[in-house]
Amino acid sequence: MKKKLQKLCKNTKRYIKKVREEHLIKQYIKENPLFITYILINVLNSTLLRFFTINTVQNYLSIKPIIADLSVIIITGSLGFLFKLKGRFRYWLTFTIIFTATCMVNSVYYTFYTSYASFSMLSLTQFLGPVGDAVVQNVVQLKDLAYLCAPTIFLFVNHKMKKKGYYKKIELKQNRKQSALKSLILGVILAVGFIISLTSLEIGRFNKQWNKEYIVMRFGIYIYQINDGITSLKPKINSMFGISKAIKDFNNYYEEREKNDTYASGTNEYTDTLKGKNILVIHAESLQTIAMNTKFNDQEVTPNLNKLASEGLYFSNYYSQVSVGTSSDAELTFTTSLMPTQSGTAFVSYFNRKYISLPKIMQDNGYYTFSMHGNNADFWNRRVMHENLGYQKFYSKKDYKVTTENTIGLGISDKEFFKQSVAKIEKIASKNEKYYGQIITLTNHTPFNEVEKYGEFDVDIKENITNEDGSISEVTYPYMEGTKLGNYFKSVHYADSAIGEFINELDQKGLLENTAIVIYGDHDARLPEKDYNRLFNYDKETDSIKDKEDSSYVKFDSYQYELNRKVPFIIWTKEKKYNKEVSNVMGMYDAMPTLTNMLGVERSKYALGHDIFNIKENNIVVFPNGNWLTNKVYYNSQKNEYLALNSNETISNTYIDENTSYTTKLLDVSNNLIVYDLIAKKEEENDLEKNLKEGS
């Protein structure tokens, strides 16, 4: 064995010496300028994508993804040598266009979702049309067009080569099969070297696929996309593979949870405080908590929500846990206490699974259940999914009078929507002793560009100054007017006004008696980080952003951006004034267990969240990308680093490892529960056992 290794090393050294002495690399480059161009431009694009999206030193210095991308580019490109010159050019151009499109799509997608695109999103393209303007206006940036340089350079080099007659010289002396084999071997060597360098952690995360940023940072964009394509086929083949392990993990998880989770059940001071009350849930589109904490010229952005929050239960550190399904993911997690799926969306890809949901639980307890939304019933497949979730009636666009005059953005304005909804709720109340309804708003949806319809609300700084003659003049400093975030605040101010009018109309109709109003933001507005920097660091004297060295400068980095994405959660009743702010961190999956306890109904045993009044400061919020948050720490799984939220507290490695392990298990169990329809299978198994016992 030792002799064989020595011989291999000797041969390798001899080959390297031959390559160096005979200038074989130089000769190869000279003979294949178009192929070298193809390699360089496509690896440049993939590297640019990582640099534009993952802003960490670790990513900038990482060589692994470059090697991974190179191997894919060279292996796919090597087959081009099997064609004659014209076919070869077309082959390489085709792959250049494919690679360029991959980078462009992922660049745009990352800006909006802070994640990378998935083939499973192809099933959702029918829902992208209505929000196309939002993508163009709020998401597409100049950097996203930089990738187009690749095919442009490729075409330019090809043109120059043809003009100089270079192809004819190459064609005479080049052996196509030999060139293909050499290039293929080079690509395979790079691929093997890359595979050997992988750690068990990297392989594990690659298989799971939910930590997309981590995968791209280790494996490159092209291998990520190939793996994603394979993973996206999982729903098609799940009945054949993986179900045994999924069932085993599912059973183990819930058995262990039942034994060890001391926060899963139990009464507290809020138990039964909403028992028997009607429930109206307002699913508020793109409503972020920051809007409730912001004023312009001493005018609150959300005076009505602030009033409701001060009188009710206000959960000020409540986080949305959506993935690519955005609003539909929010509905899923809020009503079922499950996480979004790792591939596709539950509403579109897994609409026929069995779910234990809040509407179903309420219906079992004698409530009439309904949902209302001013959009098309088939958007996010709500027509089908709402029925599966247990809503007995879904009022959609066809049930409302929508005109050009009462339309803002994607559809009927919130004010008109609420106004017409009150009449419907009044009829429901007259026919049903108890009811549970979800009302989904629409106006406060990106791109927040119909400013003229939002009403008057200044987002610039206005001050009165005394002139030399004693007169008073108003001076305006150009603060947030015309920015995307400024327009968002105007839109939120309108949405807040609509909610205020809705509450007042319900009160006038006597519909607030024995009724609780629940309000939650479905997700953040996905607006640029730079707009927040202007919000916090504007210098009115110079009309510019303060210098970082300024003592009053507010640091707003990627961590602050993530923590700022929290949304409001409010529970309010007219007669009972809770007057309480709950500051413990809370995820959307905690809403259902908290509400079922307050309503005095049995919670779902499959709920992944907790009643916040039981778990309190020990809660953990898990995000679909593997990040997690507690009162102590925000952990970023892509960077494998964390931000301690209390500088005086020491965070142990054990604390990080335990919560990261918990996060991984929870995400896998939630995904498998939905993908493999495990609730239905478990109930079938229980029914079978019951029948066997009764038969014996």
**Per-residue pLDDT reduced to its tens digit, 204-215:** 777 766 677 888
User: Would you state the structure tokens that stand for residue 79, as one six-digit string?
Assistant: 């087959």
Compute and round to an integer the Cα radius of gyration of the chain: 29
Residues of the chain with pLDDT under 70: 1-29, 112-114, 120-140, 166-174, 208-210, 232, 234-241, 695-696
Q: Which among 486, 476, 462, 493 is positioned nearest to 534, based on CA atoms?
A: 486
User: Would you state the structure tokens that stand for residue 692, as one six-digit string?
Assistant: 């066997």
Identify the pLDDT of residue 169. 63
Contacts 24+ apart (CB under 8 A), 376-379: 379/127, 379/130
Query: Phi first, then psi: what are they for 77, rounded to 5°?
Result: -70, -30
**Per-residue pLDDT reduced to its tens digit, 634-668:** 999 988 899 999 888 899 999 999 999 999 999 99
* 105 HSE (CA, 13 A, CB side): 15
| Side chain identity at residue 235, one-letter code | P
Query: Are residues 208 and 94 in contact, defined by beta-carbon separation less than 8 angstroms?
Result: no
Dist. CA 170–CA 376, nearest whole Å: 60
Q: Which among 216, 288, 284 is positioned nearest to 526, based on CA atoms?
A: 288
Identify the pLDDT of residue 240. 56
Architecture of domain 241-262+622-696: 2-Layer Sandwich (3.30)
Dist. CA 525–CA 414, nearest whole Å: 17
Strand runs (DSSP E) across 23-158, as ranges?
A: none
Q: Which among 374, 249, 382 is positioned nearest to 325, based on CA atoms?
A: 382
Task: Answer whether the bond into residue 65 is a cis peptide, omega within 30°.
Answer: no
Three-state SS at 40: helix
* Angle separating helix axes 33-53 and 212-231, nearest 10 degrees: 120
Tokens 């998401």 locate to 139
pTM for the full predicted model: 0.81
Asked if domains 241-262+622-696 and 264-450+515-525+566-619 share a fold, the reply is no
Strand 299-300 versus strand 544-545 pairing type: unpaired
Architecture of domain 264-450+515-525+566-619: 3-Layer(aba) Sandwich (3.40)
| Residue 124 burial (CB count, 10 A) | 20
| Side chain identity at residue 44, one-letter code | L
First to last CA, the chain: 66
Please report the DSSP string for 380-444 in residue order: GGHHHHHHHHT-SEEE-GGGS---STTEETTEE-HHHHHHHHHHHHHHHHHH-SSEEEEEE--SS
Q: Which residues of 290-317 are buried (b: 16+ CB within 10 A; e: fewer)?
A: bbbebebeeebbbebbbebbebbbbbbb
Dist. CA 593–CA 661, nearest whole Å: 23
Query: Are residues 115 and 213 in contact, defined by beta-carbon separation less than 8 angstroms?
Result: yes
Domain boundaries, the chain: 19-232, 241-262+622-696, 264-450+515-525+566-619
Dist. CA 643–CA 66, nearest whole Å: 29
Three-state SS at 117: coil
Dist. CA 678–CA 335, nearest whole Å: 18
Q: Is 592 left (phi over 0), alpha (psi -120 to 50) or beta?
A: alpha
Alpha-carbon separation of residue 25 from 31, 34, 672 (angstroms): 10, 15, 50
User: Would you state the structure tokens that stand for residue 391, as one six-digit string?
Assistant: 């809503």
| Residue 136 burial (CB count, 10 A) | 11
Query: Are residues 562 and 317 in contact, defined by beta-carbon separation less than 8 angstroms?
Result: no
Q: Which helix (H) or strand (E) holds 642?
A: strand 641-644
Strand 515-521 versus strand 278-284 pairing type: parallel
Query: Are residues 128 and 136 in contact, defined by beta-carbon separation less than 8 angstroms?
Result: no
Identify the pLDDT of residue 137. 53
Report CA torsion sign: 573, 574, 577, 579.
positive
Dist. CA 276–CA 422, nearest whole Å: 21
Q: Which among 657, 676, 638 is positioned nearest to 210, based on CA atoms?
A: 638
| Residue 24 burial (CB count, 10 A) | 13
Query: Phi first, then psi: what are they for 63, rounded to 5°?
Result: -95, -25
Identify the pLDDT of residue 139. 54
User: Would you state the structure tokens that stand for residue 589, as one six-digit string?
Assistant: 């999956």
